[in-house]
Amino acid sequence: MMPRPRYLHTTAPECTEVGAYDLVGPVGHFSFQTRPVKSGETLALDAVGFGPTNPPVPVGQAFAGAASTTNPVTVAIGGKSVTVLFSGVVAAGLYQINLVVPSVAPGDQPVQTAVGETNAPMAIVTVQ
């Protein structure tokens, strides 16, 4: 299965509720409201198909917790490599990649993820 990013979200500094987040991305591209991401914010990319984990998570079974990917996951925003803070399964079939947004030019920027040598389809994030 080719890895595929689904959507991007970031924890808003003004949110006081656990689990509260904002969806980020190009304005008008989605049926829901988004906002730009800022350099230095922690961004979470939700995805599918990023491969095996440790501990192993059986396919098709309920899962709660977090299991890190065993293959290296890399991310670039606007062509600039970022440090991946976490990559792994967080729910049945759902991978999450946490990273800190680098300092890049404002505007729509490509988000390129890869697992080992396999590139996922590109996503777009708007940087403020």
Look up the domain containing 12 and give its range: 4-127
Sign of CA dihedral 49, 99, 41, 123: negative
CATH code at position 52? 2.60.40.10
Tally of structural domains, the chain: 1
- pLDDT at 19 (0 to 100): 47
Per-residue pLDDT at 62: 84
Instruction: Confirm if 37 and 10 have CB atoms less than 8 A apart.
Output: yes
Write down the pLDDT at residue 79.
Answer: 96
Q: List the pLDDT tens digit at each of the 128 positions of the chain.
A: 445 444 455 444 444 344 445 666 666 766 767 778 889 988 888 888 889 999 998 877 888 889 999 999 999 999 999 999 999 999 888 889 999 999 999 998 999 999 988 888 888 888 88
Q: Do 48 and 94 form a contact (C-beta atoms < 8 A)?
A: yes
